[in-house]
């Protein structure tokens, strides 16, 4: 797959996703993704994004203001 930003090749890697809602910021680290070897742009599959979103939702429901989580499949 080519990068949508710069058209260079993308390779398998990891990225961090940041979710913000009101006064909560949740950072999900080490999310599997395709990462551009040239510019660093990342692309996450929808199934993986949904898992990360669900993780963030759980942390937000706890009322945290800032949380760092390591990505994991339930």
Number of domains in the chain: 1
Does residue 5 lie within any of the structural domains? no
7-39 confidence digits (pLDDT tens): 999 999 999 999 999 999 999 999 999 999 999
Q: How confident is the model at residue 74 (pLDDT cuts 50, 70, 90)?
A: low
22 within a domain of the structure (yes/no): yes
Q: Is residue 23 part of a domain?
A: yes
- Tell whether 2 is covered by a domain: no
Q: Do the domain assignments include residue 43? A: yes
Could you tell me if residue 45 is inside a domain?
A: yes
Domain that holds residue 22: 10-70
CATH number at residue 57: 3.10.20.860
> Is there a domain that residue 49 lies in?
yes
Q: 22-50 burial, b if ≥16 CB within 10 A, otherwise e?
A: eebbbbbeebbbbbbeeeebbebeeebee
């Amino acid at each position: 797959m080519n990068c949508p930003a710069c058209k260079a090749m993308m390779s398998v890697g990891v990225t961090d996703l940041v979710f913000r809602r009101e006064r909560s910021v949740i950072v999900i680290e080490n999310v599997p993704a395709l990462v551009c070897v040239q510019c660093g742009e990342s692309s996450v599959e929808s199934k993986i994004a949904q898992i990360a979103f669900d993780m963030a939702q759980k942390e937000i429901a706890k009322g945290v203001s800032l949380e760092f989580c390591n990505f994991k499949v339930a």
